[in-house]
A and B are shown apart, each in its own frame.
Chain A
Amino acid sequence: MGDIAGLVGKRLGLGLIILLVISVIIFFMVELLPGDIAQAVLGQGATEENLAALRKEMGLDQPAIVRYLGWLKDAVVFDFGSSVVTQEPVTSIIGERFAKTLFLAAYAAVIAVPVSIVLGVLVALMRNSIFDRVANVLTLTSISSPEFFLGYILILYFAVKWGMFPAIASLSEGMSFVELLNRAFLPALTLVLVVVAHMMRMTRASIINLLASPYIEMARLKGAPPLKVIVRHALPNAWAPIINVVALNLAYLITGVVLVEVVFVYPGIGQALVDAVSKRDFPVVQACCLIFAATFILLNLAADVGAILTNPRLRHPK
């Protein structure tokens, strides 16, 4: 078991280094700003005294590297400074929103993962039939549509025409869980549509890839029924690619959430990021970017680790 721990530890270390590099990129990109943050916040008409005061307050009189280390030290304990627009601490702005975004992503994932894996396996079994082709065209259409297109179509039919679900996902304190699920249904469904298409195609491809291997041929030749071939012979080897597919798509969910949140006015972190970008509120933008990137890396890491755990061959790299 020692080698597994070593491999996983190595991946973790690599992920940490990448995250560190990303934090450098995110921090020093703002330094590329023409002028500096104080100038950007106060605008062209700011007086010299105001600028100097703001610079002092934000610590801009110190060299960039000192500020970066300070920022990083605080970021590790989730303290991202305070917003330059509202002066609120960034953590209080995005903390609660992040939880809501995670709720939305989890909601979508709980629906999407089982559905897409079952459908992917079914379509792989019926490959090259007319249903496979229809599924291929449908999933391709769903992948190719911008998220806001799917979102607005759902609003048009489910909310405006049939009045089944609310079009605007306004969440408030003290809502019951069922009420929350009802309010967040349309945004979650939009994400589900996109992610199911991706996952189905990837599951189908990996299963078909597997079904072409000689030992499946052998199982078929010795007369095993199709279901048994899938469940006993193919599935144990398919776990690794499927786990990979799931983790990659969850990572995709995290970013797809930005557009969906804007369409449905869902009070999540994506909405906060878009607002902050248009207000040029850099501490919030930096914090959101770092959180998104960290989640993304974490899920990719989970995919790697899952693949190592389920596929013994990866534990002995050539």
Chain B
Amino acid sequence: MELTTSQFVIGYYTFLLGVSCFGAYTNKRQVFMLAFSLTLVSFVLGIVGGAAALKAIAICAGMLAIAGMISFGFREFLIQIAEGDFGAGIRNSGSSSVVTLILVAACIVSGVMGWGFTEILIAITILFVVITSLNPETAKELRTAPLTAAFGMFVIFTYAVAGIFAPWIAPFGEAEVISSAFAPPDENMLLGADQLGRDMFSRIVYGSRNSVGLAITATVAAFILGAGAGLLAATKGGWFDQFMGRFADVIMSIPSLIFALLMLSIFGPTTPVIICAVAIIYAPRVFRLTRAVAGNVVVMDYIEAAKLRGEGMWYLIRREILPNSTAPLVAEFGLEFCFVFLLVAGLSFLGLGIQPPTADWGSMVRENATLISFGDITPLIPAAAIALLTVAVNFVVDWMLFRSSGLKEQ
């Protein structure tokens, strides 16, 4: 059934007014304010932009509603799994950290040796870690999670699936030329072809593996460097602490993109150089936070007790300091990942990231930018993918920070 324009407009206003009356009647102040202010805005926009503007609003609201429903569903799903407590057996036997280490090692070995099943191993590892960390305790916390955080988790889940199983999801290879340059979408190609006639959709799927993978590797490198130095500085103190602090000050006073450009111009834009450059640029930030968090833990009495027991520094860091500073460090990891991801995307947009023909979101935007002047939005999809993942991670981090800080604004 096709809606005529007048039917749509009448239905639109009826719906909004109905919702605002319902809100006012049941004393739901927020619902009323939202619905009625939307009605007033729609009056203005409807007069200026006609029915098309109203349709745009309706589509936006519909998309928001769908996103909300998916987030709600995903949160309930996670809560159900957490309450089922499938990981209890493994956790209670105390072997979960050993199994995780073995799985990670297997992933790395398999990746280096090029056996064909690295993807499946990585998926199993992630699944294992998630299942063991979901318990009735987390179920309670998940219940209080805002929908934005659930949405963030859902998006991260989707990206993980796309990245890990890219070769199965993508219909074509990432460097496979299958049609003419800038061919429009047809039944074979969902989003059309890029500047060399490669399938855009396949490249976006592969990009989730390459771009996100590079950003995660670089963040992990920055974390190992920064958190290691921070923990050492906090436990050792003295001149080492002073020196590292000043050194971090200097590095942080060079703008990150500029420093990255300087290093890439000297050593050339190869993947190891990008990872090292990002690690050097972002390690000082991690160092600062770790130093501050660990500095608060170091002055505790139980550290003093452990020192008096004669425990070594490595034991202090591993068994006393680290477990007591995980929550802020995990949140910091998310935040740093966002910064690193945006920096790497910026670099690859400038042509200094992962080199072609490997699919990479930043460079895909640049290569297809000419299409934008014809009013085509396809080149913006990789950029939107970058933005969506960063937003999602930020949502989750916001929630985690709120939870770990325990402070409620008045």
A→B interface (CB under 8 Å): 18, 21-22, 25-26, 29-30, 32-33, 127-130, 137, 140-141, 143-149, 152-153, 155-156, 160-161, 167, 208, 211-212, 251, 254-255, 258-259, 262, 273-274, 276-278, 280, 282, 285-286, 288-289, 292-293, 296-297, 300
Task: Kindly name the residue among B258, B366, B410 whose own CB sees the greatest number of chain A CB atoms within 10 A.
Answer: B258
Complex CA distance for A289 and B259, rounded to whole angstroms: 7
> How distant is B271 from chain A, measured CB to nearest CB, in Å?
17
Residues in A whose Cβ lies below 8 Å from that of B262: 26, 29, 285-286, 289
Per-residue 0/1 for B372-410: is the Cβ within 8 Å of any A Cβ (1 yes, 0 no)?
111101011001101100110011001000000000011
Contact of B410 among A26, A29, A32, A212 (CB under 8 A): A212
Main secondary structure of the interface of A (DSSP, over half): helix
Question: B residues within 8 A CB of A292?
Answer: 255, 258
Q: Does B60 contact A (CB under 8 A)?
A: no
On chain B, the residues within 8 Å of A129 by CB distance are 30, 33
A22 touches B250 (CB 8 A): yes
- CB-based contact B383/A146 at 8 Å: yes
Taking a contact as CB atoms under 8 Å apart, the answer to whether B409 and A208 are in contact is: yes
- Please name all residues of chain A whose beta carbon is closer than 8 Å to the beta carbon of B349 when the two chains form the complex: 146, 148, 259, 262
Q: Are A152 and B266 in contact (CB under 8 A)?
A: no
Contact in complex: A144, B387 (CB < 8 Å): yes
Which of B33, B258, B384 is the one whose CB lies under 8 Å from A149? B384
Is there contact, CB below 8 Å, between A127 and B258?
no
Residues of B contacting A: mostly: helix
Query: In angstroms, how far is the closest chain B Cβ from the Cβ of A297?
Result: 5
Residues of A within 8 A of B30 (CB): 129-130
CA distance A17 to B365 in the complex (A): 40
Q: Does B263 contact A (CB under 8 A)?
A: yes
Instruction: Name the residue on B nearest A147 (C-beta).
Output: B346
Q: Within B323-348, which residues are at the interface with A (CB < 8 Å)?
A: 338, 342, 345-346
State whether A137 touches B253 (Cβ < 8 A).
no
Cβ A18 vs Cβ B250 within 8 A: yes
- Which residues of chain B have C-beta atoms less than 8 A from A137's C-beta? 148
Closest CB-CB distance, B68 to chain A, in whole Å?
A: 12
| Closest-CB distance, B286 to chain A (whole angstroms) | 19
Cβ contacts under 8 Å, A140 to chain B: 391, 394-395, 398
> Of B34, B258, B369, which is within 8 A of A152 by CB?
B369
> Which residue of chain A has the shortest Cβ distance to B376 in the bound complex?
A156
Our pick among A153, A259, A289 for the contact of B346 (Cβ within 8 Å) is A259
Q: B361: nearest residue on chain A (CB-CB)?
A: A146
Interchain CB contact under 8 A, A277 and B253: no
Alpha-carbon distance between A201 and B266 when the two chains are bound, in angstroms: 37
| Residue in chain A with minimal CB distance to B408 | A128
Asked if B257 contacts A258 (CB within 8 A), the reply is yes
Render B217-261 as a binary contact track against A, CB cut-off 8 A, 1 for contact: 000000000000000000000000000000001100111111101
Assess the A149–B266 pair: CB atoms within 8 A: no
User: B212 an interface residue at 8 Å Cβ cutoff?
Assistant: no
Asked if B387 and A146 sit within 8 Å, CB to CB, the answer is: yes
B362 within 8 A of A: yes
Given A130-B33, A254-B255, do A30 and B266 touch, yes or no (CB 8 Å)?
A: yes
Decide if A152 touches B380 in the complex (CB within 8 Å).
Answer: yes
With a cutoff of 8 Å between Cβ atoms, the chain B residues found around residue A255 in the complex are 255-258
CA distance A180 to B149 in the complex (A): 43
Q: Would you give 11 A-B contacts (Cβ < 8 Å), ordered by A?
A: A32-B267, A129-B33, A130-B33, A144-B387, A146-B342, A146-B386, A149-B386, A156-B380, A289-B254, A289-B258, A300-B253
Complex alpha-carbon distance, A82 and B53, angstroms? 56
> B346 near A146 (CB under 8 angstroms)?
yes
B265 with A293: CB separation less than 8 A: no
Using CB atoms and an 8 Å cutoff, list the residues of chain B in contact with chain A: 30, 33-34, 148, 249-250, 253-259, 261-267, 338, 342, 345-346, 349-352, 362, 365-366, 369, 372-375, 377, 379-380, 383-384, 386-387, 390-391, 394-395, 398, 409-410
Tell me whether A277 and B380 are in contact (CB under 8 A). no
Q: How far is the CB of A204 from chain B (nearest CB, A)?
A: 10
Residues of B within 8 A of A149 (CB): 365, 380, 383-384, 386-387
By a CB distance below 8 angstroms, the chain B residues around A274 are 261, 350
- Asked whether, in the complex, the Cβ of A148 is within 8 Å of the Cβ of B346, the reply is yes
Check if A259 sits within 8 Å of B250, measured CB to CB: no
Cα of A211 to Cα of B410 in the assembled complex, Å: 9
A141 to B390, CA, bound (A): 8
Given A141-B387, A300-B253, A167-B373 contact (CB < 8 Å)? yes
Kindly report which residue of chain A lies nearest to residue B265, judged by CB atoms.
A277
Shortest CB distance A161–B (Å): 6
| A273 and B383 in contact, given A160-B372, A259-B350 (Cβ under 8 angstroms) | no
Which residues of the partner chain A approach B383 to less than 8 Å between Cβ atoms?
A: 145-146, 148-149, 152
A160 and B373 contact, CB distance less than 8 A: yes
- Give the 6 A-B CB pairs with smallest separation, nearest first: A144-B390, A149-B383, A255-B255, A145-B387, A277-B265, A144-B391
Known: A129-B33, A211-B410. 7 other contacts (CB 8 A): A25-B254, A29-B266, A30-B266, A146-B362, A254-B255, A255-B257, A262-B350
CB distance from A303 to the nearest CB of B (A): 12
- On whether the beta carbons of B375 and A161 are closer than 8 Å, the reply is yes
Which one, B253, B346, B350, B373, contacts A293 given CB within 8 A?
B253
Taken together as a complex, chains A and B put the C-alpha atoms of A288 and B259 apart, in Å, by: 11
